[in-house]
Amino acid sequence: MTTQLPAPPASVRRRPPARLRRLAAGSPDDPRWVRPALWAVLVLAAVLYGWGLSKNGYANEFYSAAVKSGTQSWKAFFFGSLDAKSFITVDKPPMALWLMELSARIFGFDTWSLLVPQVLIGVATVAVLYATVRRAFGPVAGVLAALVMTLTPVTVAINRDNNPDTLLVFFLVLAAWACQRAMDSGRLRWLLASAFFVGCGFNTKMLQAWIALPALTLVYLFLGPGGRGRRIVHLLAAGAVLLVSSFWWMVIVDLIPVGRRPYIGGSTDGTAWNLIIGYNGIGRITGEGDMPGGGARMPGGGRGFGGFGGQPGLGRMFGAALGGQISWLLPFAALALVALVVLYRRRPRTDLARAMLLLWGGWLIVHFVVFSFANGIFHPYYSTAMAPAIAALAAAGAVALFDASARSLPWSGVMALGVAATGGWAYVLLRRSPDWNPWLAWAVTVLTAVAVLSLLAAQLVRMRSGRPDQSETAAERSERTVPAGTRGGRAARLALIAGVAGLVAGLAGPAAYAATTAGHRTDGTNPMAGPSGSGMGFPGGGRMPGGARPPAGLPEMGGRLPEPPGGFPGGFPAGGRGTGGPPGGAGMPGGAGSGMLSYLEKHRDGATWLVAVSNSQSAASIILRTGQPAISMFGFVGGDRAMTVPRLQQLVSAGKLHYVLAGGGGPGGGGFGRPGGGSSAVTSWVTKNCIVVKPADYGSSTQGGESLYRCG
């Protein structure tokens, strides 16, 4: 006879697994408010990154066109080609495009399939940062770090865009998380995972991903678990994983014969290796080759497009272009790094908190130095890679210094100094836009004063309660009407007031910038946050973000740089299109209007490509409007050697290309881009051997002297 056990109660049967319970409610060792606070921060991040996302349209059309092409061709998908027939690639590796292309293949190509993956990745980055900071510095620091990361203005702007930096930061934070697990557990697999994530970052934005390597490597080498020999062997294994995960795509691409793969955009010889060491490598630091072939200096002395990020130097992160984007808590993070090194100096070598402090500190220092002194192309949104380190250091420092200030007058003074510096710098940044919410700067000043005075008052109360008057007798002390714990309670209340006021004062400015950015359209090519964050580097009547004027020599152009004939290099249309929004309207970069596109589609005559144009942004707009492949002959800024006279003759004679838009003083006309890069020779051949299509045939005219030619 079989005895059946009674069924467990329904409440037990329906109880979710332990992992799900912990995910929802957090660790039982954490305060009960921590996990709800984390979920609130993640919801806030999703709202800031995703609210009104449709206003950004196609965001950066250069990458959006590549996504559309990748949905039409798996070859274009693998190479990251701008056009579906893979004549030329974008100037980055394709990993960031792959996620958007898979989304667009599943849900259809539109704004949401492009940008929602970016939003989700941004929220995931905040969650991983919380987990990383919590393990080393505790749950309160974890929540604060997540909040700071969420509210960092430039991070809000970039997570609403389709540039690759969102995915890059995600991979780098994952690398820090995995490296921490390796140091905590001593298991090699976590260190290998960290190296793999850095390699994925490399295939997202090449050498920028390696800026975090010194911090990751040195911290594990000197502070990791086990003996030195074991740590060196582990690092060698991780190095092998790093090389494979970084270079596999490049090796495959460069091994494919030239005739069977597209030209690698941004390179000088059509190879991925040249792109790595040139345009996306040393050129970003030295400025040489930041435009393929050497580029040209911008007005005011900046080489290439470096002027977008202000002049190189120690003050770049605090200047007009970047100050309001990233620097709000940078002074406090630096102070926290120094203070915590002192506080943790006597801890064991393998102490996890000290190791992660130095990891985040190294991350911040190396990024700060590289970004500050880079002479090549530098957009403000690159600085989002500093946000995780600033958030981690500021959060860990705030918690540790707040605790230390309760026990020591000197540390109370350090905390007060940090709060005062943060509030003072916020006042400076806010006053750069004097007409934008002018009350906010004064509110931050008042809150900062309240926080500093409350901190010092709390310490004085503690000192008085801990050092009674020595002339007072025991009987007199026993007869005091003030209870023994009153002063301690008063000190705790003052400390609480100081903490709340300091937190609000420190985050009010970036939160206001973030809120202003959410729900509003940003420049897809150069996304920036804040009251003037919608222009192309110089938003709002010629002023840079924060209200400051451009550097000397850069003219005020109503929010735009001067446009060469035919539109800005890269194809930003004179009519204001190209920075987001599904294509529509008459204005097209390079002069290709709606009438011309209709004519090209009707008279394509079986050609592989609809038309060849001078630069990638012009081609991107055509691809997005028509869904047909278009050739970018000379890359993003008109300086690549992608098109040569023999190559053009071959395409024309094979019937793969009938129309070329050429001439004028812009890219392709020899007036911009790499001197001697071949554009003049191609243009000359077209004008001599092809027939001009009369503008009357397509009912519109061209800009900048460019003409539509029928070849063959």
709 sits in which H/E element:
strand 706-710
Q: Which residues pair with 133 in a beta bridge?
A: none
pLDDT exceeds cutoff 70 at 100: yes
Both 126 and 272 in a single domain? yes
DSSP-derived secondary structure for 191-210:
HHHHHHHHHHHHHHHGGGGG
Summarised one tens digit per residue, pLDDT across range 322-371 is 999 999 999 999 999 999 999 999 999 999 999 999 999 999 999 999 99
Q: Is the CB of residue 179 less than 8 Å from the CB of residue 213? A: no
608 and 684 share one domain: yes
For residue 133, give both structure tokens. Answer: 């900071």
**Alpha carbon separation from 379 to 7, 517, 528, 542, 702 (Å, rounded):** 64, 17, 9, 17, 31
Nearest to 99 by CA among 176, 192, 206, 200: 200
495 and 612 in a single domain? The answer is no
Specify whether 224 is located in the same domain as 317.
Answer: yes
Kindly state the average pLDDT of the residues 84-108.
Answer: 96
Distance CA 628, CA 654 (A): 19
How large is the average pLDDT for residues 31-37?
91
Domain coverage including residue 269: 31-292+311-405
Report the mean per-residue pLDDT for the chain: 83
Location of structure tokens 């605090």: 318
Question: Do 128 and 253 share a domain, yes or no?
Answer: yes
Q: How far apart are CA 86 and CA 80, in angstroms?
A: 8
Of 188-197, 260-269, 701-710, the one with minimum mean pLDDT is 701-710
Confidence (pTM): 0.86
Same domain, 374 and 423: no
Annotate 36-94 with three-state secondary structure: HHHHHHHHHHHHHHHCCHHHHCCCCHHHHHHHHHHHHCHHHHHHCECCCCCCEECCCCC
Q: Which two tokens stand for residue 641?
A: 């050697």
pLDDT of 698: 84
In this structure, are 372 and 262 located in the same domain? yes
Query: What is the token pair recorded at 561?
Result: 């740089």
Q: How many helices (H) and strands (E) does the chain have?
A: 28, 5
Backbone angles phi, psi at 18, to 5 degrees: -60, -40
Per-residue pLDDT tens digits for 544-593: 444 444 433 333 333 333 333 333 333 333 333 334 444 333 334 444 67
User: Is 8 inside a domain boundary?
Assistant: no
Task: Please give the Cα distance from 244 to 252 (Å, whole number).
Answer: 11
Do 670 and 702 fall within a single domain?
yes
469 has pLDDT over 80: no
Identify whether 210 is part of a domain. yes
Is 434 found in the same domain as 288? no
Contact 375, 312 (CB under 8 A): yes
In a domain? residue 261: yes
C-alpha span between 169 and 102 (Å, rounded)? 20
**Domain contains 363:** yes
Q: Average pLDDT of 501-529?
A: 92
What is the token pair recorded at 185? 């557990």
pLDDT at 595: 85
Residues 221 and 351 in one domain: yes
Of the candidates 15, 12, 39, 14, which has an alpha carbon nearest to the alpha carbon of residue 26? Answer: 39
**Residue 108 has which token pair?**
């259809």
Does residue 350 share a domain with residue 389?
Answer: yes
Which of 64-68, 288-292, 494-498, 521-525 is the least confident region?
Answer: 288-292
Interval 364-407: pLDDT, tens: 999 999 999 998 889 999 999 999 999 999 999 999 999 998 88
pLDDT digits (tens, 9 = 90+) for 550-563: 433 333 333 333 33
Domain count for the chain: 3
Same domain as 460, residue 320: no
- Which of 405, 431, 456 represents a domain boundary (last residue)? 405
